[in-house]
Structure 1
Amino acid sequence: MSIDLSSAIATFVTESKELLQEMENGLLDLESETSEEHASEIINALFRAIHTIKGSAGIFDFVHVVTLTHIAETLLESARNGELQLGKDLISLYLETRDATETLITLAAAETEPDQDLLNKVNHLVSCFSKYIEADADEAQDEVFKKTTSGNQLDNERWVLFFVPNENVLRNGLDPYSFIHYLNSETDDLKVSTWFDSMFGPQQFDPESNYLSFIISFNTDKTENDIIDIFEFIRSEAYIAILPPQGDTEILKASIQKYQDIDFVTHSLKEADPAFADIMQLLNQKEKTPPPEQTLEQSGAAPTVNTSKLHKSKTLRVEALKLDRLIDQVGEMVITGARTNLLAHETGNETLIEAMALLERLVENIRDSSLKLRMVQIGETFNKFKRVVRDIADELGKQVELTIVGAETELDKTFVEKVSDPLMHIVRNAIDHGIEDPDTRRAQGKPEQGQLTLKAYHDSGSIVIEVSDDGKGLDQEKILKRAVDRGLVSANQTLQEKDINLLIFEPGFSTAESITNISGRGVGMDVVKRNIDSLRGSVEVESTPGQGSTILIRLPLTLSIIDGFMFEVHKENYVIPLDTVVECLELHEVVSEQDIQDKSYINLRTEVLPFIRLRTLFGIEEQIDHTRESLVIVQFGTLRAGLVVDSLKGEFQTVVKPLGRLFEGLKCISGATILGSGNVAIILDVSALIKSAISVYEALEKKH
């Protein structure tokens, strides 16, 4: 009967990619790290990540992954021991290894053999690592000799292995004897001493638990790493200490002295091999020794895992599809709750109405909690650009420092997935077109290293992502000339600075003199605009010649369920996000009827406020008594405008429903929702409405 490993492999792929991303972040941090202590911590984290990937890949027999990660791990161990410095060349080599490993894992999980190009790449990486290992072998050997000749030494020529599987090793499907049998096949003259942990009496004995420990002696020409690798898959389930020939007995001594019945252990040692006499003499001194965890770390053996001291995990991995289904069901519950609440009011039963009000509050709490499940920090997305910035800057011969601000800012996971590609295009263009080369910056009195900043924060119910650089800024004259040549604007047309800046998002638009591997084809920035628009967001560009540029991406908090504000126009209901509403006014109180007919703006508390009548926008010719109309002041980012509506309905929990392909591209409309009555209400795009109001206002002003 075959075992289905698809679920386990899928988990391995997910966890490996997370570890590889952590590895990439660590390598990039290591490149700029000046503290030796922090650098050591990063190297240890890198070692643990690549070691975990190698061990898991071995379980599934992913040979190519094991081959590459094993030699990369070997060199990292030298770095951990202080025998090797990870300079920029080695960091670049490990970054290439990280990319190749991810590709190999993806192919192996899909049961696809790597092509020849990838195999050549792997062979090249293995060859590069081998050169480093060979170059440092003599120095590393000297260092090992120094370590093994310090402290208490044992004048024996045999290896000693202290092997203590934990209590649950059998329950977890591992057989300690199989590892000893394999060790026997790889070594010579192996002798084993086994003892039973005497702290357990017959009454406490559990046949599924392990109470056996082993001390093993043998001869071999293998290295310490080779011996450790034999116990690779049981290292997390056992305590292991290795004493090489002429080794420091403090390692073994510290390991054994944690047991109360030392006499029993020493007797077992003597029975196993008379060569252990010197060890027993040291053990009988009963001196205090460092904790086993510290000694093992120093010896390079497997670290001890004290499961009793570990904090239990407080996170749970959930499939994204299950989360999406939960949000959809909560949305349906909101709609049904609104319908039930409406029916309760129709009955006039006060008790029922009160109960429905309580239920509505509970549904709202469930809604908020469910939406928070989909909120993730944007820092993970930002961190991916450290590698992008490094590689592009190296390719272009520039020096660029990436600064991340607001990494803890949370936004919907849907946005995280869809905003990554637009950010990639913006970052690439900022480095290629914005930031100058070191010679040019030096001539302009700027630091040779350019600054690129990724920043995220909340503002007016939206998420704002800023990408700014301290480069040369946008050449508006050049942009305008290229736009005229392409027929995007007429030669006699007058545009404001912000409109000129936005021309860079037109399809096929580029001011580059030549095409490079990075940019210049006019493809990319139009993708940015299109993707952000599809998320009901907006893009703004600010630029100062010689000082740099900033691109602001503004996104709503969520796409699923929002707090809405509902109003009526020509007996139809419309909804806008509540967080975009500034205030509501009676129209006749702030503007005369004559101004409504002749003007597209009002003077509101000394502020010129453009407004738009939704009846006019929707092509409704039927007139209405203007004294009954209301003015809703809305804001999106830094822009404000007024919406003239027939009547106000108030706050409304809104479940956003897509309109489908037939209605894609409809101006000023972003979706729909179902009301408690079963009717459909249109959700309006506030950003597009404000821009329409401003455009009408500016057009009328030009006429005057």
Structure 2
Amino acid sequence: MSVDLSAAITTFVSESKELLADMENSLLDMEASDAGADQEETINAIFRAIHTIKGSAGLFGFDYVVSLTHIAETVLDDVRNGNREMSKALLSLYLETGDLCEELILLAASDSEPSAQQLTQLTDLSGQFHEFIDDAASPQDNIVTSDSPKLPQNGIWFVCFVPNENVLRNGLDPFPFIHFLNNEVTELEVATNVVPLNAQTPYDPESCYLAFLMLFRTSQNKEAIEEVFEFIKNDAVIEILPPEQCSYDAIQACARYFPEPSQFQSTLSQLTQSLLPNEPSAPAPDDDPITAPIKDKKKNKLHSSKTLRVEAMKLDRLIDQVGEMVITGARTNLLAHETGNETLIEAMALLERLVENIRDSSLKLRMVQIGETFNKFKRVVRDVADELGKEVELNIIGADTELDKTFVEKVSDPLMHIIRNAIDHGIETPDERVAAGKSACGQLTLKAYHDSGSIVIEIQDDGQGLDQSKILARAIENGLISAEHSLQDKEINLLIFEPGFSTAAAVTSISGRGVGMDVVKRNVESLRGSVEVDSTKGLGSKIIIRLPLTLSIIDGFMFTVGDEDYVIPLDTVVECLELHEVVSESDIQDKNYINLRTEVLPFIRLRSLFGIEQQIEHTKESLVIVQFGTLRAGLVVDSLQGEFQTVVKPLGRLFEGLKCISGATILGSGKVAIILDVSALIRTAITMYEQLELKH
């Protein structure tokens, strides 16, 4: 029967990517920090990552991956043993190895062959590693095959390997693990035990009825032997006895993993004749603990697991269904109130709270820490700085800040553009920094934190800052603004996000083509976010990206303008006031700002913004004060409806680009309510206020 390994290979690819990412971060941390007590553990972690990938790749027959990781592991073992230092050249070699290893894994997983360029790179890397090896073998000798010479061996080990009944159904074949072990040890003796069948348990061709007892010699430690079976450890019972514990009596204790100890005794006798000639002891007693079924052991293993991989698509479907449940719950709650039945209303209130808890729990499932994304930029900073001949240190703050996984995927590219531009245009060369009285090494800081229902990401450098006069001159030259146009400092800074804008004197591989920063703004705004720039010439720049916590379901605040209902995120609402209590009728007609507790607060009448001609009495209007980041403004609305659980629905391409609108939601009555973009509303209100001030 052929075993379908596609699911196992998919898991291997996913786990290998994580191991390679951890390995890269460890290497970059070693390069950035001084050597110390932690370096030994870091090197051991890198070694384990390479060794695990090599072992798993060997199980699937990914020979090119095994070839590369084997020689990388050999050199790293010298470093572990203190025979060699982890120099910068060797560290760079391992970074390149990680990159190529990921490419080879993806190719092998898709049943594709490496390109000629990748094979050349493989040979080149093997050759560079070979220079660190004492013997004079050629790079081609480092390709691992089943005929490769084994490591020096000595002690006798024992392994009891009992795959569970469903191992074949799960896409795992036990034999490659034994085959791989054979390549790592010497004098491997294997005895196979077959579970007897009877009329009550008919034969199932998809079930596994085999168990294996193995004796062999090796100088490796127990951890190395365990890693051979790393990929199948959750689908089998694996008992390993090292030389100091490997006796006939100790091996007999493994009888508890077999349904019939007498059969185990017979299998054990055949196995130990060559390597363990000791006289057999009395058979293990046939009591309940010893004859416990293998499946019970497996059950304990499963219960010890604390994490579970779930496909992102399944989580998305769950969030969508929870959203529909919220909408249906609102509709049912409305109908309950129409009946006037107090018992039903009370039951619906309880159900609404439960739905809200399910909503919060399901949204948390998709929340991930942003540190994983931040760590990816360590390599970017290192490589770009080296290419430009600069010294840059990356500082990460708030790595444990959580955000929706959707944002993680979509914010990565904007951050990449900003970081590359900061190193290229912002941070000076070491000589320029020393001449300016700064340290030769530039500082680049990535910071994330939660603020008022949003996640804020700051990218700050201590470079030369933005040259506003140069930016303004280039914007006029490119026709982005007219020479008569008057702009404030913050508006000038935002010109760097205009399409086609660049102040670079020459096009390089990093920047100068005028693409990148406009993509940043477009991507962030597509996520209902905003971008701000704060810069001081000679001291550095800070770019602030502000995003909502989630795109799916939010706590909303609903109000009415005209005959329509509108919703804004509840977290953006500061307070609500009766308009006539804070501003007179004459002020409302002539001004679009009020003096609220000594603070000038711009406001915008949503009736005017949406072109609603029907008027209402001034005394009935309300003022909703909203805040996004550091900016505040007021929204004049007709009436307040209160809090509302809001399921965000996209409006479709027809409504793309509509200012101040970010989506829609379905109310309990079945009516559609528009979700407003608070950030855009605040900017509109401030712009109108500034234009009015200029006229006066």
TM-score between the two structures when normalised by the length of structure 1: 0.82
Counterparts of 2:505 and 2:22, CA distance in 1: 38
Q: Is it true that 1:450 corresponds to 2:451 in the alignment?
A: no
SS of the aligned residue for 1:559 comes to coil
2:645 maps to which of 648, 653, 670: 653
Residues 575, 684 of structure 1: 8 Å contact kept: yes
Relative to structure 1, the CA distance from residue 257 to residue 608 in structure 2 (aligned partners, 3 Å threshold; closer, same or farther) is farther
Of the structure 1 ranges 81-90 and 337-346, higher mean CA displacement relative to structure 2 is found in 81-90
Cα shift at 1:253: 4.2
Match of 1:586 among 571, 578, 583: 578
Q: Distance in 1 between matches of 2:467 and 2:547?
A: 27
Structure 1 counterpart of 2:86, which letter? Answer: L
Counterpart residue identity of residue 53, structure 1: I
Aligned to 1:119: 119
Residue 368 of structure 2, aligned match among 376, 398, 422: 376
- Percentage identity across paired residues of the two chains: 68
Alpha-carbon distance in structure 1 between the residues aligned to 2:460 and 2:538: 13
Residue of structure 2 aligned with 1:473, choices 458, 465, 468: 465
Q: Are the aligned partners of 2:455 and 2:548 in contact in 1 as well (CA < 8 Å)?
A: yes
Over 3 Å counting, the alpha-carbon distance change for 1:682 and 1:182 in structure 2 is closer
Query: Once structures 1 and 2 are overlaid, which stretch shifts more, 441-450 or 101-110?
Result: 101-110
Equivalent in 351, 374, 377 of residue 343 of structure 2: 351
Alignment partner, residue 53 of structure 2: 53
Does the 8 Å contact 2:605/2:636 carry over to 1?
yes
Q: Which residue of 1 aligns with 2:503?
A: 511
Letter in 2 for 1:493: H
CA distance 1:135–1:443, change in 2 (3 Å): farther
- Map 1:293-308 onto structure 2 (within 5 A): none
Distance 1:178 1:436, change over 3 A: closer
Label 1:135 to 1:489 Cα distance change in 2 as closer, same or farther (>3 A): farther
* d(CA) in 2 for partners of 1:401, 1:610: 41
Residue by residue over 1:304-348, the C-alpha shift from the partner in whole angstroms, topping out at 9 and shown as x without a partner, is xxx999992211110000000000000000000000000000000
Structure 1 residue 87 displacement after superposition: 1.1
Counterpart in the other structure of 1:44 = 44
Aligned pairs (5 A) from 1:408-419 = 408-419=400-411
- Alignment CA distance shift 1:260-1:516 (3 Å): closer
**Are the counterparts in 2 of residues 33 and 39 from structure 1 also a CA contact under 8 Å?**
no
Relative to structure 1, is the Cα distance of residues 346 and 83 closer, same or farther in structure 2, using a 3 angstrom cutoff? same
1:369 counterpart SS class: helix
**The residue matched to 1:563 in structure 2 has which SS?**
strand
Matches within 5 A, 1:195-594: 214=215, 233-234=228-229, 237=238, 239=240, 252-253=243-244, 259=250, 272=274, 312-594=304-586
Q: Deviations over 1:41-79 (max 9, x none)?
A: 111111111111111111221121111111111111111
Cα 1:593–1:23 change in 2 (3 A) is same
Once the two structures are superposed, the pairs formed by residues 575-654 of structure 1 within 5 Å of their partners are 575-654=567-646
Q: Which residue of 1 aligns with 2:31?
A: 31
Contact kept in structure 2, 1:194 and 1:215, CA below 8 Å: no
Once the two structures are superposed, what CA deviation does each residue of 1:627-652 show, in whole Å capped at 9, x if it has no partner?
A: 11111000000000000011111100
> Following superposition of structure 1 onto structure 2, how do residues 73-222 of structure 1 map, counting pairs within 5 Å?
73-134=73-134, 160-166=154-160, 168=162, 174=174, 214=215
Q: 1:391-431 CA deviation, whole Å, 9 max, x = no partner?
A: 00110110000000000000111111100000000000000
Secondary structure in structure 2 of the residue aligned to 1:394: helix
Deviation at 1:134, TM superposition (A): 3.1
Structure 1 distance, partners of 2:189, 2:606, is 88
Query: Relative to structure 1, is the Cα distance of residues 35 and 191 closer, same or farther in structure 2, using a 3 angstrom cutoff?
Result: closer
How many angstroms apart in 2 are the aligned matches of 1:404 and 1:544? 22
Partner amino acid for 1:239? I
Q: Is the 8 A contact 2:177 2:228 kept in 1?
A: no
One-letter amino acid of the counterpart of residue 402, structure 2: E
Q: Tell me how large the CA RMSD over aligned residues is.
A: 3.4
- Given that residues 183 and 230 in structure 1 are in contact (C-alpha distance below 8 angstroms), is that contact kept between their aligned partners in structure 2? no
Distance 1:180 1:620 in 2: 75
Q: Is the 8 A contact 1:435 1:472 kept in 2?
A: yes
CA–CA separation in structure 2 for the residues paired with 1:257 and 1:351 = 72
Query: What 5-or-longer segments of structure 2 have no aligned partner?
Result: 138-151, 168-172, 194-207, 254-264, 280-298
Question: In 2 relative to 1, CA 178–660 (structure 1 residues): closer, same or farther, beyond 3 Å?
Answer: closer
* Counterpart-to-counterpart distance in 1, 2:226 and 2:626: 66
Report the equivalent of 1:297.
none
The answer to whether 1:687 aligns with 2:679 is yes
Q: How many residues get paired?
A: 624
| Post-superposition offset of 1:33 | 3.5
Deviation at 1:490, TM superposition (A): 1.4
Alpha-carbon distance in structure 2 between the residues aligned to 1:135 and 1:46: 24
- Secondary structure in 2 matching 1:657: coil
CA contact (8 A) 1:162 1:240 kept: no
Partners of 1:549 and 1:533 lie apart in 2 by 21
SS at match of 2:309: coil
Shift of 1:160: 3.7
Work out whether residues 450 and 471 of structure 1, in 8 Å CA contact, stay in contact via their aligned partners in 2.
yes
Asked whether the 8 Å contact 1:612–1:644 carries over to 2, the reply is yes
Q: 1:183 to 1:445 in 2, by over 3 A?
A: closer
Deviation at 1:84, TM superposition (A): 1.5
**In structure 2, how many angstroms separate the alpha carbons of the residues matched to 1:180 and 1:669?**
60
For 2:655, the equivalent position in structure 1 comes to 663
Code of the residue aligned with 1:701 in structure 2: it is: E
Shift of residue 445, structure 1, vs aligned partner: 1.0
- Relative distance call for 1:530 and 1:61 in structure 2 (3 A) is same
Per-residue deviation, residues 644-694 of structure 1 (Å, max 9, x unmatched)? 011111100000000001100000000000000000000000000000001
Instruction: Give the residue type in structure 2 aligned to 1:411.
Output: L
* Structure 1 residue 32, shift from structure 2 partner: 2.7
Cα deviation for residue 168 of structure 1 reads 2.9
SS in 2 for 1:624: coil
Counterpart residue number, 2:670: 678
Residues 77-109 of structure 1: CA distance to partner in whole angstroms, max 9, x if unpaired? 111111121111111101101111111111122
Larger CA deviation: 488-497 vs 432-441: 488-497
Q: Measure the CA separation in 2 of the matches of 1:270 and 1:15.
A: 37
How far residue 382 of structure 1 moved from its aligned partner, in angstroms, is 0.3
Separation of aligned partners in 2, 1:17 and 1:181: 24
Q: What SS does structure 1 have at the residue aligned with 2:567?
A: strand
